[in-house]
Structure 1
């Protein structure tokens, strides 16, 4: 755990010195769960606190649980503050993602893969466009995500999708339509989160199974921030007119500071990147040509 504290401290100094320089997304506003979200399954496994401003998802040997947004969105900034399942969380997955509804769906994924006590969580990200995924990247976090709330965010506009952890960009997926790669731009997505058992693959490829004697497994949430263009008859208008803050020039690419932070994550914490996996992809996927610019 010492290395987590060391890296957290070093990054904290960087943020204090440079934090005002980057074009970070607007600061999320804390709102209660019920304003934008509803449970989707196993309602009795969601616990509410502080008038619905804080919730917990519970997983036991019978079921996990999950929730989704009431609306669907076409571009915007979406975030949650989550405290991951503590202790022996092997086999569990805590997911936060956006997804459209049809067969050729678009999807933007955060998946937090639990582990045995004392081992680090793995954060897996993925992007689906037109039903095509297989774009996994995995990192270790530079802190223990079970001891405090941390913010996990997605910025999505016509130019890029950026994954943030506490305002640090950990992944960027650029619009590469000019290279023949589909990009999410015309399918509104709902926001989802869930806690579920995936011990057939989640921890060491399924070698580590869920220890149900440790149940219930609990993930805590707050800060249910949604700032997006809700799908309606106006959806195409707000998506194409460049009126929203996320369409402005400073959000069409990362700035120099954000690229430095992204390279820091790549160099220190990345443990898998599909772009460099020549076993699965003997020919590098086309969109990875832009990934090499990081």
Structure 2
């Protein structure tokens, strides 16, 4: 029989480990500040209409050998809060990306801006990777400068819908998962911060060349269709011809996160961040002066 003192120590250690992994409350919930809207109130199908289905407010998109699918906001924005609740497919999804992002690639081909939430598909037994990324006047033409932070989430994103959001103000970009801020990207210079109007997009597509372990695992269409689901769409944006007040993302209403939100973000990065572009020795630091 284990001695009482040893039992007590074991319980304390287990309690500490559980507390270290438990999601802390951010203390404030920006998503509550924005009312949901129907898909067609804010978006339209962009490509792959035969691979989309809207049913009872939930948009299902899928990828198979013939095509993926994507949608785009009806308006362009220059700041705002943009979110959706997303559920991912379990099993083999290597090479597949399900995304929610801002971009102006159609307006500025070759030198566009982009703010990404991307789920990188995986193989059974390994977690999805949530990638956040920011491009500033860059495209896939040799001038692409990625600013990736990647996370392994503290829950299984295939078992239910979770809310993912981008807040873009003139001074900050903040990424949220279930209202927990996971990344804040401040505006340190005009050259490293997107300022031109962007649309909101969502898509599912084949990115076998890089999505899963740098392209080691490809999309395997024996497992098709690959499915993503979106619902609870929220847009509160300002832009060309759209005047508005940005929603509050902190209790004070300012762009500064509260101490409790900062603590929650530090927890997410300490326990779940798996890649930071600023710490990648392969990157040319002169291209990312914000690091």
Fold shared, TM-score > 0.5 on shorter chain: yes
Give the helix-richer structure, 1 or 2. Answer: 1
1:210 and 2:213 aligned: no
- Distance between the aligned counterparts of 1:23 and 1:256, measured in 2? 14
The 10-residue stretch of structure 1 (124-133 or 75-84) with the greater mean CA deviation from structure 2:
124-133
- Within 5 A, what are the aligned runs for 1:127-276? 127-131=134-138, 133-177=145-189, 181-185=191-195, 187-232=196-241, 235=242, 238=243, 243-246=245-248, 250-276=253-279
Corresponding residue for residue 75 of structure 1: 79
Corresponding residue for residue 292 of structure 1: none
TM-score by length of 2: 0.84
**SS of structure 1 residue aligned to 2:260:** helix
Contact 1:181/1:286 (8 A) holds in 2: no
Unaligned runs of 5+ residues in structure 1 are 1-5, 289-294
Distance change (3 Å), C-alpha of 1:7 and 1:221: farther
Aligned length: 265
Unaligned runs of 5+ residues in structure 2 are 1-17, 139-143
Task: Report Cα offsets for 1:30-59 as digits up to 9, x if no partner.
Answer: 221111111111101001101xx1110011
Distance change (3 Å), C-alpha of 1:46 and 1:284: closer
- Distance between the aligned counterparts of 1:226 and 1:263, measured in 2? 27
Contact 1:23/1:250 (8 A) holds in 2: no
1:109 and 2:119 aligned: no
- Within 5 A, what are the aligned runs for 1:20-59? 22=28, 24=30, 26-50=32-56, 53-59=57-63
**SS of structure 1 residue aligned to 2:202:** strand
Task: Report Cα offsets for 1:150-196 as digits up to 9, x if no partner.
Answer: 0000111111000001001111110112xx643223x1110001001
Task: Report Cα offsets for 1:226-267 as digits up to 9, x if no partner.
Answer: 1111422xx5xx48xxx5445996332222111111111111
| Residue from 99, 114, 126 that aligns with 2:103 | 99
Contact 1:81/1:221 (8 A) holds in 2: yes
Coordinate RMSD, CA, aligned: 2.3
Greater C-alpha radius of gyration? 2
Per the TM alignment, residue 214 of structure 1 is displaced from its structure 2 partner at its CA by 1.1
